[in-house]
Amino acid sequence: MGERRGLGRDEVLVSRSAWNSLNDALYRLQSATEDVAMDISQGEATKAEYIEALAHLSLAVRELQEVSVEPLGLGE
């Protein structure tokens, strides 16, 4: 199928919705990482703040893990 669509050897075809879901989840993870880094670097964080930061990161990771990207075509 990939050959018919003119895909190169290292190219993969995915649906737009899967691509958008992946990009959205990656953006949320990046934002969560930046938020946590900023919060923790602003002085001495308490144990509760570390727990909250970990929960924030953990949620973003779980959202990314739930994204399913199945190829519609693979390059040959």
Q: Considering only CA atoms, which of 75, 1, 64 is closest in space to residue 33?
A: 64
Task: Kindly report, residue by residue over 43-76, the tens digit of the pLDDT.
Answer: 888 889 889 999 999 999 999 999 999 998 888 7
Please give the residue range of the domain that contains residue 37.
Answer: 12-67
Establish if 46 belongs to a structural domain: yes
Q: What is the mean pLDDT of the segment spanning 27-43?
A: 91
Sorting pLDDT into bands at 50, 70 and 90, what band is 40?
confident
Please determine, for residue 26, whether its predicted confidence score (pLDDT) is greater than 60: yes
Residues above pLDDT 90, as percent of the chain: 61
The pLDDT of residue 1: 58
Domain count, the chain: 1
Largest separation between any pair of C-alpha atoms in the chain: 58
Establish if 56 belongs to a structural domain: yes
Instruction: Round to whole Å and give the CA distance between 38 and 59.
Output: 18
CA atoms within 13 A on the CB side of 59: 9
Per the model's pLDDT, the better-predicted residue between 5 and 19 turns out to be: 19
